[in-house]
């Protein structure tokens, strides 16, 4: 679908319905977008989707067969090259230099659009070159031949050259190739600062969705030469769009520290033999998350409940499309929800109770496990964390758990032991061990003791 963002104020760059071909092969079709100053646009898509071709057409390397590209309302292909170069800097995929110039000389080439023919560099030109080389951490090898630098060092010099042009638009085609993580962050922080403080327009091709999420405020997703989706980053970088464009399942969350979106791609599941067996998980607080994925991968049918909406296990169940009985956020289980959970349990072949903390609000989940046992459904209890450390009901949860044990519930010490009894593959057992350690850190006895002590101190105050 075509997309065009209408913005208030001056629009520096507009792409209007362009179509590009290499010979008879159509690479881009009906691509439209408008970008205003200060926007950092991430161009995303699989290999062969047309990302680099879009930048080539904007930078006048490949003239579109149809449509127009406007720079300050003028057709970019009607402008003199020098006029375009004064306003647009480009960092291409291939940054090879034909001659072995010194790094400083390469950066000074960025000043050529601002100089007359045969004019030597002025003091101003040298000052600008020195400034951008210091900003990109390349001044220390200003006199070194460009072809003697490492790939990452050379890439930073090319970025410095583009910044030396003092452009209003910067095109970056996979700009972080060859850069280590420190230089990736330094360069992207620098470009982002130019965006925010100087109103620089940036269009950058990314393969790393997490870097795009960290720095871009606008995203364009390409698929088969067409815009699949475009808009603000929060709107575009979703699990559904990633699946639609890359055919990969992914978890998309917002990081608590950086406040930026992060993406966790998931490997395509193998097709396991169906076990024709349904397992109902009584879980919460993230204690069922790793189990859900492992059991599904092993061919089990999985249900869960009761879970509060916004609980980690609820979000996992939603993502994995697991049927779940839910209760409102931070609300105690109602009788209606409890009955719905019992109905779901009655259809299960087995019930698994995880090491979830119990308060008065979810105590009925223990009663549901008791009902499962009474109905003849094999019930497993995972006791990774002693009940004394997670019972916040003055012993009621412990009493119910002991009743489950007396009535024949099978107690296991951890998820790995449970999965072994369910004949889960060794590969999944190894994964479960790692996931258990990660997801249950906040339920370890020492952590719960810390939380309890903090709570008690607060109550004394």
* HEC sequence for 203-237: EEECCCHHHHHHHCCEEEEEECCEEEEEEEHHHHC
CA atoms of 153 and 149, how far apart (whole Å) = 6
Query: Do 286 and 302 contact (CB within 8 A), yes or no?
Result: no
Model pLDDT, residue 42: 94
Model pLDDT, residue 124: 86
Closest Cα partner for 159 from 147, 177, 145, 144? 177
CA atoms of 45 and 224, how far apart (whole Å) = 9
- Note whether 11-265 and 278-447 share their fold: yes
CA atoms of 365 and 36, how far apart (whole Å) = 54
Q: What backbone phi and psi angles, to 5 degrees, belong to 424?
A: -80, 145
Model pLDDT, residue 451: 38
The helix/strand/coil state of 302 is strand
CA atoms of 113 and 14, how far apart (whole Å) = 22
CA atoms of 259 and 238, how far apart (whole Å) = 16
Model pLDDT, residue 364: 92
Q: CA 266 from chain center: how many Å?
A: 11
What are the residue boundaries of the structural domains of the chain, listed by start? Answer: 11-265, 278-447
pLDDT tens, N- to C-terminus, the chain (461 residues): 333 333 333 548 899 999 999 988 999 999 999 998 889 999 999 999 999 999 999 999 999 999 999 988 889 999 888 888 888 999 887 766 767 889 899 999 888 888 877 777 788 889 999 998 998 889 998 899 988 888 788 888 988 999 999 899 999 998 887 778 888 888 888 889 888 888 889 999 999 999 999 999 999 999 999 999 999 999 999 989 999 999 988 888 887 777 788 888 877 766 655 666 889 999 998 888 888 888 888 888 899 989 998 888 898 888 888 999 999 888 899 999 999 999 999 999 899 999 999 999 999 999 999 999 989 999 999 988 888 888 999 899 999 999 999 988 999 988 888 888 877 655 554 554 455 454 445 445 454 444 334 333 443 44
CA atoms of 67 and 31, how far apart (whole Å) = 9
CA atoms of 209 and 140, how far apart (whole Å) = 32
Pairing of strands 25-36, 74-75: unpaired
Query: Do 275 and 300 contact (CB within 8 A), yes or no?
Result: yes
CA atoms of 129 and 139, how far apart (whole Å) = 9
Model pLDDT, residue 262: 86
User: How many C-beta atoms surround the C-beta of residue 25 within 10 A?
Assistant: 8
The helix/strand/coil state of 165 is coil
Q: Which CATH superfamily is domain 278-447 in?
A: Isochorismatase-like (3.40.50.850)
- The CATH number of 11-265, from 3.40.630.10, 3.30.465.10, 3.40.50.300, 1.10.10.60, is 3.40.50.300
């Amino acid at each position: 679908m075509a997309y065009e963002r209408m913005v208030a104020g001056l629009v520096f760059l507009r792409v209007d319905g362009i179509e590009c071909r290499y010979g008879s092969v159509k690479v881009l079709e009906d691509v439209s977008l408008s970008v205003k100053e200060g926007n950092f646009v991430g161009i995303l898509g699989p290999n062969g989707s047309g990302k680099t071709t879009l930048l080539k057409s904007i930078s006048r390397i490949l003239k579109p067969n149809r449509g127009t590209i406007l720079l300050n309302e003028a057709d970019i292909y009607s402008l003199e090259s020098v006029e375009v170069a004064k306003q647009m800097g480009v960092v291409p995929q291939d940054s090879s230099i034909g001659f072995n110039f010194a790094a400083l000389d390469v950066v000074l080439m960025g000043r050529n659009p601002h100089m007359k023919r045969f004019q030597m560099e002025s003091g101003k030109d040298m000052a600008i070159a020195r400034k951008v080389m210091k900003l990109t951490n390349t001044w220390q090898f200003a006199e070194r031949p460009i072809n003697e630098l490492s790939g990452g060092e050379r890439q930073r010099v090319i970025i410095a050259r583009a910044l030396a042009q003092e452009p209003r638009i910067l095109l970056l085609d996979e700009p972080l190739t060859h850069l280590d993580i420190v230089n990736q962050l330094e360069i992207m922080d620098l470009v982002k600062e130019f965006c925010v403080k100087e109103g620089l327009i940036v269009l950058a091709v990314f393969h790393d969705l997490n870097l795009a999420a960290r720095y871009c405020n606008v995203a364009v997703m390409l698929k088969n030469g067409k815009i699949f989706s475009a808009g603000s980053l929060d709107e575009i970088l979703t699990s559904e769009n990633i699946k639609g464009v890359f055919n990969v399942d992914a978890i998309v969350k917002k990081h608590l520290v950086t406040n930026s979106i992060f993406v966790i791609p998931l490997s395509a599941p193998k097709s396991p033999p169906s076990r024709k067996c349904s397992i109902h998980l009584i879980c919460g607080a993230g204690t069922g998350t790793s189990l859900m994925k492992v059991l599904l991968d092993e061919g089990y049918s999985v249900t869960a409940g009761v879970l509060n909406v916004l609980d980690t296990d609820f979000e996992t169940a939603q993502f994995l499309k697991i049927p779940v009985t839910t209760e409102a956020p931070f609300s105690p289980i109602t009788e209606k929800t409890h009955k719905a959970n019992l109905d779901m349990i009655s259809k299960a072949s087995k019930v698994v109770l995880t090491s979830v903390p119990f308060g008065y609000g979810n105590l009925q989940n223990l009663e549901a496990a008791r009902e499962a046992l009474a109905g003849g459904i094999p019930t497993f209890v995972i006791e990774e964390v002693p009940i004394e450390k997670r019972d916040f009901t003055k012993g009621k949860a412990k009493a119910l758990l002991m009743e489950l044990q007396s009535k024949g519930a099978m107690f296991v010490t951890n998820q790995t032991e449970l999965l072994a009894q369910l004949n889960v593959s060794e590969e999944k057992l190894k994964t479960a061990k790692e996931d258990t350690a990660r997801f249950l850190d906040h339920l370890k006895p020492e952590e719960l003791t810390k939380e309890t002590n903090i709570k008690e101190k607060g109550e004394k105050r």
